[in-house]
């Protein structure tokens, strides 16, 4: 498997009047060619900051990449100058933002906005770029592309605008696409269309996607692999099947348990008590410990390392230590584990998702 992007020990901090907010605290992950990696977490978990750091879009000041490397091919993006970064942004790595209402320029026709990158990065002439813009609009499923290329963003609906944003992001055939909650602002039927479009485009163009979301339904739909973030760290990572059918971290249990399933009976949802820690002053030990019903004494003392469950599956919880007591996961989680792997042990390697 070819690794297209590798992030090692990334630390991102923001200097505020109150002190240093450690938004990302040592994140490691990689992205394989042609796959979709979903980064899941709640607001404030550092998932958006991580993706913005990859694009070097962290405003400085107040933000800074404190430590770590972002390997893209043989380059370290963390070390590049702004000028070198500009050549990569939009051409080799592109980004789709959450809100299609604000990520388009209201005073430019959408055609011009698509052409911008093509003229800048690919030295196309204006007429070539326009032709390509129409092609792209057709590709993302906008009817009557020839006519609509001259229209302004306000003439498009929310879902259509997000298609335009995707067209802009794909204009230069990027190798990596970072989608930061691209469907959160959309209705379910429109969301379904956009997800189908992304799946479809990935198949056609072989783009690698980092998909950031808090919606586990969307993750199950689009991801090959999943990284679960909490308080600036990745607490569990694995193939989509490993995360959904054999989750090991109590935080992942909490996330999965707090969503009602459509066939659920009237049992109470497993809410994760409390709220995420303040990253101005991250707690000692495991940051999830205060909200974790399974917390042990060691959790307040020492941070757990990532324990290996399979070649693709890792989780940072002391529960996986050989000396830890065996605990029963919540009933809903046990059902997930049994539903998928009736004869297998609860903790065990499984061959994973579709493309792995």
Distance between CA 299 and CA 264 in Å, rounded?
32
Give yes or no for residue 260 binding another protein (CB under 8 A): yes
Q: Taking CB under 8 A as the rule, which mask of x and - marks residues 327-356 in contact with another protein?
A: -------------x------------xx--
Give yes or no for residue 240 binding another protein (CB under 8 A): yes
CA distances from 300 to 183, 247, 277, 289, 334 (A): 37, 22, 13, 7, 26
Q: How far is the CB of 13 from another protein (least distance, A)?
A: 21
Residue 25, φ and ψ in degrees, nearest 5? -125, 70
DSSP 287: T
Pick one of 24, 133, 179, 195: the residue that binds another protein (CB under 8 A).
Answer: 195
Give yes or no for residue 314 binding another protein (CB under 8 A): no
> Helix (H, G, I), strand (E, B), or coil: what is residue 254?
helix
Q: Which is nearer to another protein, 1 or 259 (CB)?
A: 259
> Helix (H, G, I), strand (E, B), or coil: what is residue 30?
strand
Give yes or no for residue 125 binding another protein (CB under 8 A): no
| Contact region with another protein (CB under 8 A), list: 23-31, 131-139, 190-198, 307-315 | 190-198
Distance between CA 6 and CA 31 in Å, rounded?
6
Give yes or no for residue 258 binding another protein (CB under 8 A): yes
Distance between CA 93 and CA 51 in Å, rounded?
11
Give yes or no for residue 273 binding another protein (CB under 8 A): yes
Q: How far is the CB of 92 from another protein (least distance, A)?
A: 29
Q: Which is nearer to another protein, 269 or 302 (CB)?
A: 269
Helices H, strands E: what count in the chain? 11, 12
| Contact region with another protein (CB under 8 A), list: 54-62, 71-79, 108-116, 259-267 | 259-267
Radius of gyration of the chain (CA): 21
| Contact region with another protein (CB under 8 A), list: 14-22, 136-144, 172-180, 239-247 | 239-247
Q: How far is the CB of 113 from another protein (least distance, A)?
A: 24
- The answer to whether the bond into 269 is cis (omega within 30° of 0) is no
β-pair type (93-96, 176-180): parallel
Pick one of 15, 84, 135, 196: the residue that binds another protein (CB under 8 A).
Answer: 196
DSSP 282: P
Q: Which residues are near another protein by CB under 8 A?
A: 42-43, 158, 187-192, 195-196, 214-221, 240-241, 244-245, 254-262, 264, 268-273, 275, 340, 353-354
């Amino acid at each position: 498997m070819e690794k297209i992007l590798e992030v090692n020990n990334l630390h991102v901090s923001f200097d505020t009047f109150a002190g240093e907010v450690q938004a990302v605290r040592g994140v490691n992950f990689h992205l394989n060619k042609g796959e979709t990696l979903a980064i899941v977490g709640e607001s404030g978990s550092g998932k958006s900051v991580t993706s913005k750091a990859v694009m070097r879009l962290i405003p400085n000041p107040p933000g800074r990449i404190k430590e770590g490397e972002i390997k893209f091919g043989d380059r370290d993006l963390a070390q590049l100058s702004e000028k070198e970064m500009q050549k990569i942004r939009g051409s080799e790595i592109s980004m789709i933002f959450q809100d299609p209402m604000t990520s388009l320029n209201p005073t430019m026709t959408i055609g011009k906005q698509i052409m911008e990158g093509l003229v800048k990065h690919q030295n196309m002439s204006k007429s070539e770029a326009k032709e390509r813009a129409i092609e792209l609009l057709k590709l993302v499923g906008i009817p009557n592309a020839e006519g609509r290329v001259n229209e302004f963003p306000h003439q498009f609906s929310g879902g259509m605008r997000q298609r335009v944003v995707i067209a802009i992001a794909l204009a230069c055939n990027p190798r990596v696409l970072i989608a930061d909650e691209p469907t959160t602002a959309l209705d379910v039927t429109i969301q379904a269309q956009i997800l189908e479009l992304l799946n479809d485009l990935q198949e056609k163009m072989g783009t690698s996607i980092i998909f950031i979301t808090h919606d586990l339904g969307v993750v199950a739909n689009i991801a090959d692999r999943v990284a679960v973030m909490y308080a600036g760290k990745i607490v569990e990572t694995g193939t989509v099947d490993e995360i959904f059918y054999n989750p090991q971290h109590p935080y992942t249990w909490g996330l999965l348990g707090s969503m009602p399933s459509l066939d659920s009976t009237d049992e109470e949802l497993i809410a994760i008590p409390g709220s995420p820690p303040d990253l101005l002053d991250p707690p000692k030990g495991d940051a999830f410990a205060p909200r974790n019903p399974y917390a042990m004494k060691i959790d307040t003392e020492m941070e757990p390392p990532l324990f290996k469950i399979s070649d693709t599956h890792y989780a940072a919880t002391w529960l996986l230590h050989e000396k830890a007591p065996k605990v029963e996961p919540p009933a809903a989680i046990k059902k997930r584990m049994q539903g998928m792997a009736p004869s297998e042990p609860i903790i065990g390697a499984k061959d994973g998702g579709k493309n792995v």
